[in-house]
Amino acid sequence: MSSPRVAVVMGSKSDLPVLEGAFKVLREFGVEFTARVLSAHRTPVEAAQFAAGAEAAGIKVVICAAGMAAHLGGVIAAHTTLPVIGIPVASEPFNGLDSLLAFVQMPPGIPVGVVTAGKAGGKNAALYAISMLALSDAGLSAKLKDFRAAQSRQVLAADAELIQSLQQ
């Protein structure tokens, strides 16, 4: 087993359902990953240490899922120059708007890319990470192109079925 190229970090184990899609996509593409529960507020030292050591550990991209104040992505980004992708997680009382706003208001100089909130965000974050890795991995690039082509075929097949059903 090779060393992980993607780190998936969640602020709480309750964020795990959002990340199941990311795990599935990364496995389907054969991308090794590691997953951690680290909190920007409850384990700030450990989160900072993880981020600071991620590059030396072979990590190329970090995915962070967090709800509420959603500081995890910013804390991780503050301690590494690796790309960080944030997934806003819905939580009470603002149903994810708070985490979305936290992610998209990073201060200048410490960027965090942000994807779709919730479960779709897990899948999109993994695909975004894969697209970054594919820049220097021809095999992964080919898999990503095949994936995109398959999606297009599925939509076109659904379109043809709809057109056919309306003509009857």
**Residue pLDDT, tens place only, 129-164:** 999 999 999 999 999 999 999 999 999 999 999 999
In this prediction, residue 1 carries a pLDDT of: 57
User: Is 60 part of a structural domain of the chain?
Assistant: yes
- Residue 144's domain comprises 138-168
In this prediction, residue 91 carries a pLDDT of: 84
* Total tally of structural domains belonging to the chain: 2
Residues 41 and 114 in one domain: yes
How does residue 121 score in pLDDT terms, banded at 50, 70 and 90?
Answer: very high
Residues 79 and 150 in one domain: no
Token pair for 145: 């192109």
Residues 156 and 94 in one domain: no
Residue with tokens 């192109």: 145
User: Is 1 part of a structural domain of the chain?
Assistant: no
Residues 32 and 93 in one domain: yes
- Sign of dihedral through CA atoms 20, 32, 46, 50? negative
Could you give the percent of the chain with pLDDT greater than 70?
A: 99
* Mean pLDDT, the chain, integer: 95
Residues 147 and 88 in one domain: no
CATH for 79: 3.40.50.1970
Residues 101 and 159 in one domain: no
In this prediction, residue 92 carries a pLDDT of: 82
76-103: pLDDT as tens digits:
999 999 999 999 998 888 888 889 988 8
Residues 65/89, Cβ–Cβ less than 8 Å: yes
Q: Is the pTM of this model over 0.85?
A: yes
Residue in 21, 40, 3 with CA at minimum distance from that of residue 119: 21
Residues 19 and 30 in one domain: yes
Residues 67 and 116 in one domain: yes
In this prediction, residue 68 carries a pLDDT of: 86
Residues 127 and 162 in one domain: no
**Residue 102: exposed, middle, or buried by beta-carbon count in 10 A (0-12, 13-18, 19+)?**
buried
User: Is 66 part of a structural domain of the chain?
Assistant: yes
Residue in 109, 146, 111 with CA at minimum distance from that of residue 130: 146
Residues 154 and 118 in one domain: no
Residues 82 and 119 in one domain: yes
First vs last C-alpha separation in the chain? 54
Residues 79 and 49 in one domain: yes
In this prediction, residue 60 carries a pLDDT of: 98
